[in-house]
A and B are shown apart, each in its own frame.
Chain A
Amino acid sequence: MNEIFNWHDSWILVQHNWFWLLVAFAIGAWVGFTYNSSEKRIN
């Protein structure tokens, strides 16, 4: 436990969970693509 974070382990983590990261990316991309600040309706 003397090393909590290292990039190598983190990269392995990414490789093992690439699908869920892809899902998160796709959701983010969709949100970003459909976001339109000018469509906020004010009265």
Chain B
Amino acid sequence: MTHLLIELAFWMLFVYFLGCLLGWAARNLFVAEPAAQPAMAPVVAKPIAKPVPIPAPMVARPVVVPTPAVAASVMETGKMERPKGIDKARGGKADDLQRISGIGPKNEGILHNLGFFHFDQIAAWTPAQVAWVDDHLRFNGRIAREEWIRQADLLATGKEAEFKREYGTGGMKNTKGETLSGSRTRK
């Protein structure tokens, strides 16, 4: 009796994995990947008349109209270009990229590996470069949604007040070393 149960369990496991495999294959065959489409799409560099508000995963935050550069990257022109990084941080000291809401230790490490250590480097990304990084990290548009470029621009230009008003503190410390907020959530 016991061996029948064990045998049945093996059958069920086998059938479960078979289902997993077939389901996965069916999804890949019949459902188009939303992220894969823009990469393969032909170049359509249409000027955007009106920036489209990006749906945000968070509630109770104001609707933000993205800058044209960000919106362009969201619309995906189909062009991708790897941004040029640097070998090491200027002056041996990297900016605290984790201040950008959406960048944590993992992403910071990845950006360092790609040669990005400073806010101004990220702020200088073109839409094609944003598209490359987004694709490279499989972010499905997160860079645009979380407005990394604008955040980096504000931080690079020292507009702390504006940054704080729009994005909170990113859960980090201020220039005096005080912890301002425990949340990365945008205000």
Contact = CB atoms under 8 A, between A and B. Distances in A.
Interface of A: 4-5, 10, 13-14, 17, 20-22, 24-35, 38-39, 42-43
Given A13-B8, A21-B11, A25-B15, A32 B21 contact: yes
Contacts of A30: 19, 23
Contact of B16 (A27, A39, A43): A27
Describe A's contact surface by its main secondary structure. helix
Contacts of A39: 140
B53 interface: no
Given A33-B27, A39-B140, A28 B16 contact: yes
Given A21-B11, A39-B140, A32 B19 contact: yes
B24 A25 contact: no
Given A5-B7, A13-B7, A38-B140, A28 B104 contact: no
